[in-house]
Amino acid sequence: MTAVHVELGAAELEFISRIAKLSARWGLGEAVGKVLAVLLLSNKPLSQGEISKLIGYSVSQISSSLSLLESLGLVIYSKEGRRKLYKAAGSLLDVLENFLERTLKNQLSPTIKFIRENLPRFNERIRENAEKLLQEYEKARILLEMNVEYLKRWKDLSLENFAKKMHIVMQ
């Protein structure tokens, strides 16, 4: 068994904590965020046991977190004998892109469809508000779709070029 390749100091632990909180807010859970953060920090692939030692979760929790991250395309593995070694395949922008796409597909689009299909069934006194809500949801859908498209096209640009594309002045 190889030694853990990552040393975790105060800065690394704070980074892991911040990514875990962000991951939880995006509906992925803190454990998933901690696993991803450790893999983002590591300069070499890690086993489930090594990840477990670093963040203090059980191997079964690590396994389910890795499965989710794999399904999102954010983690890949290679085999070393019978062991699987994991490394980050995606970045924070990949996580954000995935979150926005899931929000569009699983929450926003179905809600828009529901309001559209059921608008005639709404109480007459609130139908006008429902129509306004439908328009707001449609605007939000367009905004999210636009941002997903920008992320897909521009996430691999340098920070300076990304900022230029977004018409942001770097400080």
Query: So what's the pLDDT on residue 5?
Result: 54
Q: What is the mean pLDDT of residues 9-33?
A: 92
- Say which range, 71-75, 81-85, 119-123, has the weakest mean pLDDT: 71-75
The answer to whether the CB of 148 falls within 8 A of the CB of 100 is: yes
d(CA 67, CA 56): 18
pLDDT > 70: percent of the chain: 94
d(CA 144, CA 139): 9
- Answer whether residue 1 shows pLDDT above 50: no
Q: Provide the strand spans (E) within the chain.
A: 75-80, 83-88
Query: So what's the pLDDT on residue 167?
Result: 80
The two tokens of residue 120 are: 């005639």
The two tokens of residue 77 are: 């593995």
Query: So what's the pLDDT on residue 146?
Result: 93
Tens digits of per-residue pLDDT, 80-91? 998 999 999 877
Tens digits of per-residue pLDDT, 124-171? 999 999 999 999 999 999 999 999 999 999 989 998 898 888 887 655
Q: Rounded to two decimals, what is the model's pTM? A: 0.70
d(CA 12, CA 168): 29
